[in-house]
Amino acid sequence: MGGRRFLITGGSQGIGAAVVALARKAGHQVVFTGRDARLIEQVAQGTGAHGLRLDVSSGDDNQKAVEACQARMGGIDVLVNNAAFGYAAGIGEMDIDRMKTMFDTNVFGLVDISNRVVPLMKQQGEGDIVNIASTSGMKGAARGTAYAASKWAVRGISQCWQAELRPLGIRVISVCPSEVQTNWGGRTGRNNPNKLYAEDIAATIMAALDMPHRVLWPEVAVFANNPWKED
């Protein structure tokens, strides 16, 4: 797999930035989005990818992202829907506005940008969409109502798109990482070298994409093998 055209949302840090780096290393063209101008610039400088300061919860921004891909690369072969954030609260203390704002990014933003990209992929007769879900969308946990619901939604949406798009040669791959040591929420998974790294998830995504196009991994859960190990 060489020379494909990637659009990666939330590529300014964490898992998204690791996918940007691996895709560039493999010789692909990459456009990525993010919100923090300094981080976007860092990733762009370090990888040669093209970074855009765009918010996936905005339809206008998503249109700009797609148009930038068309102008710079002539289209999009791989869409990685990675941008998301978390909101944790127990039932009885939920701020519904915060939950809705989170859904605007994690769910509606993901649907909106894909809704703009899929017609292009249909025209091409092929393409890959990678949706980053989570093991939080596979098993509920205390204070997980909002975030788990958003990731459960991403898994369900992925299955719907598989039903629609497999016959058209477009693959939809749902990736469910367990805890990854990124700057997620400023703290998740810190200080445990045995937990997952962003690069592990990026490598999983590239492995799924590298499979021959007749092969679909509909959903991949990724766990650290032994996070309990004491060094």
Ligand X SMILES: NC(=O)c1ccc[n+]([C@@H]2O[C@H](COP(=O)([O-])OP(=O)(O)OC[C@H]3O[C@@H](n4cnc5c(N)ncnc54)[C@H](OP(=O)(O)O)[C@@H]3O)[C@@H](O)[C@H]2O)c1
Catalytic residue list = 147
d(CA 181, CA 197): 5
Task: Choose the binding region for ligand X from 31-39, 92-100, 113-121, 163-171 (rule: CB under 6 A).
Answer: 31-39
Taking alpha carbons only, the member of 115, 138, 118, 137 closest to residue 126 is 118
Q: Give the binding range for ligand X (CB under 6 A) out of 6-14, 63-71, 94-102, 118-126.
A: 6-14
Q: Is residue 75 near ligand X by the rule CB under 6 A? A: no
Does the footprint of ligand X cover residue 84 (CB under 6 A)? yes
The answer to whether residue 177 forms part of the interface with ligand X (CB under 6 A) is: yes
Structure tokens at 172: 């939809």
Kindly report the backbone phi and psi dihedral angles of residue 83, in degrees, each rounded to the nearest multiple of 5, phi listed first. -60, 130
Residue keyed to tokens 């980053």: 132
Is residue 131 a contact partner of residue 201, using CB atoms and an 8 Å limit? no
CA nearest neighbour of 219 among 108, 137, 125, 126: 137
33 binds ligand X (CB under 6 A): yes
Q: Of 6, 9, 75, 80, which lies in the binding site for ligand X, with binding defined by CB under 6 A?
A: 9
Q: Which of 45, 115, 159, 183 binds ligand X (CB under 6 A)?
A: 183
Q: Does 204 bind ligand X (CB under 6 A)?
A: no
Residues in 49-68 at the binding interface with ligand X, rule: CB under 6 A = 55-57
Overall residue count recorded for the chain in this entry? 231
**From residue 127 to residue 166, what is the string marking binding to ligand X with x (rule CB under 6 A)?**
-----x-x--------------------------------
Supply φ then ψ for residue 60, to 5 degrees.
Answer: -60, -40
When asked if residue 83 is in the footprint of ligand X (CB under 6 A), the reply is yes
- Among positions 4, 7, 13, 69, the unique one binding ligand X when judged by CB under 6 A: 13
Residue 184 interacts with ligand X (CB under 6 A): yes or no: yes
Q: Nearest-CA neighbor of 164 among 195, 123, 118, 208?
A: 118
Q: Is 90 in the site for ligand X (CB under 6 A)?
A: no
Q: Least distance to ligand X from the beta carbon of 156, Å?
A: 15
Give the integer Cα–Cα distance in Å for 142 and 171.
Answer: 33
Applying CB under 6 A, does 34 fall inside the site for ligand X? yes
Q: What is the DSSP string of 25-47?
A: HTT-EEEEEES-HHHHHHHHHHH
Measure the CA dihedral 102/44/3/219, to 10°.
-30
Binding site for ligand X (CB under 6 A): 9-10, 12-16, 33-36, 39, 55-57, 82-85, 105, 109, 132, 134, 177, 179-180, 182-184, 188-189, 198
